[in-house]
A and B are shown apart, each in its own frame.
Chain A
Amino acid sequence: MVKTDFLIIGGGPAGLCAAIEASKRNVKTLIVDEGVELGGQLVKQTHKFFGHEGFYASVRGFEIAKRLISELGENVTVMKQTTVTGIYEDVITAYDREKDLVIEIEPKYILISVGASERFIPFENNYLPGVYGAGAVQTLMNQFKVLPGRRVLMIGSGNIGLIVSYQLLQAGAQVAAIVEIADRVGGYQVHADKVKRLGVPILLRHTIKKAIGEEKVEGAVVVQVDENFNMIPGTEKEFAVDVICVAVGLVPSVELAHMAGVKIEYIPELGGYVPYRDSHMRTNIRNIFVAGDLAGIEEATTAMIEGRIAGLAVSQEITGQNLGFELEKMQEELIEFRSGPFSHKVRKGLERFFPQYVRDYSKNSQRDLGPATKLRPIIECYENIPCNPCQTSCPSGAITVPGNINSLPVIDYSKCTSCGICVMKCPGLAIFMVQENYQPGKDLVVIPYEFLPLPEKGETVIALDRDGEEVAQAEILKVVKSANKTHLVYMLVPAGLTQTVRGFRIPQKAHSLVCRCEEVSVEEIEKAIDEGYTDYEELRRYLRIGMGPCGGRTCRVITLGILARKTRKNIKEIGFGTFRPPSMPIKFDSIIKGEIKDEK
């Protein structure tokens, strides 16, 4: 039997923040978490968070997890790989997977912050291996560093679908398309812009009809839908993909809360069935609190604030301290974060529990594009997201998010020093820098870049517009590396394109295959010759040209041609190598059969 004052079930952003508040006030706390490491979904997030500095804005999710864990005091005990399996009348049980045993826990107060699980959608063959939930793809890719496949079809354009698409591209996978059943993108525009300018199409009013494949996913059929979301026959499109990633939303995990006797209500705006709670996150059961996605599907930042509120409320009860001021401050934070247009639904849902307030914010976006002769930021932030790192990071005070954190940023170009820090910091990668006529006939555009490899100074790249379409060739002027991994790429584009170019692609060398069997290209052969492999047989052994089933039929002559050209020799002077039997692949069985026949 483990006794504790405060049991936190689930060590994600909400649970960790509650533990930090309790730990600051010397409350004996136990966190029980199912995961291999604490942090919940945070550990899988490689993007920078929105919000303000107090809640780790512009810090990447997995870094936030590390910071939160480091703030846990000594009075916090952690059990990892352990699942709370029941809240009974007499006791709470948890199963430790590592030790393979059940632990009984007797706490005074409980916070249930177990998060949510993935929503699923029915489509033909959706059971096939290769169909993954978005969380699973993130776990695999960002926690275990394994890609689920090579080419992915993303279902859903909410923030998760958009972010996971971007992360897949960063990890080296391809994203064939993002499919969205509604007529507009579900997530933030800045997230959508990030994938669009990398050339990923977002198919609105489309849905997945079926997965193709016998044993595992080999493709997908996508179909257009009408206003009533009915599939329109004849509009099917086929994609060759090996992964179908389903990002169609989350369902709060209310099982434990319900077992504990918490009142559960159906509130679609909060994600479906959610537990009752008051403004201190206390449920109808006196000693049970809830926080995070389980209490309503929202962002990690609000989960952290809810967690702090629950932690403060529990600490207040246990220690008898008056934490009214701290609680009020956190509630103010919640109100401010939920004042924006994206929180409209959440506010509506939460009104069922207690009154909701909003703080006014400015909808005026930066109109003036600034003086053409100056290198200056262009802020493409048109949605009222609760976020202000551009303001707080600007060393010269040029950028302001007036009034409320949901307001749109404005910039005073006369104060701007062209330092580029706002470009590095913006979590939405929505700030660029431009300067017209940097050189005669050339404009300068600065792009935030989070991919490998980084381009090199002087390299020619292909400039892309906001939809990822090629617009021109550009020359890399310099690359400023940033510690936060959002690097700045300065590139020269043809004049007149400062408001068009928003990305670039390092040209993939066109690969002309010489050897089909082993997929060897002209470029690889030329490179090997440059490295000193100047003999046909050496090239063959080094690159495996002609070692495949075709026996060198397609590649030998071409390779000899390349060799002759590169070494400036007549093809007759170059040894053409040896021809080896058999001239076509022969089965062991066929040889044995022939021999048996001979013996007869």
Chain B
Amino acid sequence: MRRIITHPIFNVEKTKTVRFFFEGRELEAFEGETIAAALVANGIDVFGMTEQSRPRGFYCAIGKCSSCLMIVDDVPNVRSCITLVKEGMKVKRQIGRGEITW
């Protein structure tokens, strides 16, 4: 488990849990956390693949580096590190450039 349960300095406050989907898998997250944080907490480090088939994770956590782009509710290129996870959200790995569905 990667969630910090106790900490010597700060209090770990429990917030409401929400359920979201990653590649069809139902996962648990806490309200107010980013998709990236929720995925890492669930042990998921690989967020997608680059155009040249390299696995991608996230790097900067502040929406700058583009390493964390994912398909969220069918929308590609979402910066998962600054987008908050929502109940029922569907998150998918993005392989290469995102596709637009219509």
- In the complex they form, do A and B come into direct contact, defined as C-beta atoms under 8 angstroms apart? yes
8 A Cβ contacts from B56-102 to A? 56-65, 67, 81-84
| Complex interface: chain B residues within 8 A of A148 (CB) | 2, 40
Contact A36 B41 (CB under 8 A): no
Task: Find B60's partner among A97, A117, A145 (CB 8 Å cutoff).
Answer: A117
Interface band, chain A = 35 or more
Contact B57 A172 (CB under 8 A): no
Contact B8 A451 (CB under 8 A): yes
Contact A136 B7 (CB under 8 A): no
Query: Whose C-beta in chain A lies nearest to the C-beta of B67?
Result: A127
Task: Find B34's partner among A36, A127, A137 (CB 8 Å cutoff).
Answer: A36
A394 at the interface (CB under 8 A from B): no
Give the distance in Å from the alpha carbon of A62 to the alpha carbon of B37 in the complex.
Answer: 19
Query: Whose C-beta in chain B lies nearest to the C-beta of A451?
Result: B8
Chain B: minimal CB distance from A235 (Å): 28
| Complex interface: chain B residues within 8 A of A60 (CB) | 9
Contact B37 A144 (CB under 8 A): yes
8 A Cβ contacts from A110-149 to B? 117-118, 120, 127-133, 135-137, 139-149
Chain A: minimal CB distance from B45 (Å): 4
Chain B: minimal CB distance from A95 (Å): 11
Task: Find B82's partner among A34, A135, A146, A170 (CB 8 Å cutoff).
Answer: A34
Query: Whose C-beta in chain B lies nearest to the C-beta of A125?
Result: B54
B28 at the interface (CB under 8 A from A): no
Contact A128 B57 (CB under 8 A): yes
Contact A140 B40 (CB under 8 A): yes
B12 at the interface (CB under 8 A from A): yes
Chain B: minimal CB distance from A406 (Å): 27
Query: What is the total of A-B residue contacts with beta carbons within 8 Å?
Result: 121
If A141-B4, A145-B3, A146-B41 touch, does A216 touch B9 (CB 8 Å cutoff)?
no
Task: Find A146's partner among B10, B40, B46, B60 (CB 8 Å cutoff).
Answer: B40
Contact A133 B57 (CB under 8 A): no
Chain A: minimal CB distance from B14 (Å): 10
B17 at the interface (CB under 8 A from A): no
A485 at the interface (CB under 8 A from B): yes
Contact A452 B6 (CB under 8 A): yes
A171 at the interface (CB under 8 A from B): yes
Contact with B along A67-90 (1 / 0, CB 8 A): 000000000000001010000000
Contact A145 B40 (CB under 8 A): no
| Complex interface: chain B residues within 8 A of A36 (CB) | 32, 34, 82, 84
Task: Find A128's partner among B7, B8, B55, B83 (CB 8 Å cutoff).
Answer: B55
| Complex interface: chain A residues within 8 A of B6 (CB) | 452
Chain A: minimal CB distance from B6 (Å): 6
| Complex interface: chain B residues within 8 A of A137 (CB) | 61
Can you list 10 pairs linking A and B with CB atoms under 8 Å apart?
Answer: A117-B60, A120-B65, A127-B56, A132-B58, A136-B58, A137-B61, A147-B3, A215-B55, A450-B9, A452-B7
- A135-B62, A172-B4 given. 5 additional CB < 8 A pairs? A81-B82, A136-B62, A140-B36, A171-B7, A450-B9
User: Which residues from chain B sit less than 8 Å from chain A, CB to CB?
Assistant: 2-4, 6-10, 12, 30, 32-34, 36-37, 40-41, 45-47, 50, 54-65, 67, 81-84
User: Which residues from chain A sit less than 8 Å from chain B, CB to CB?
Assistant: 34-36, 46, 60, 62, 81, 83, 97, 117-118, 120, 127-133, 135-137, 139-149, 170-172, 214-216, 450-452, 485
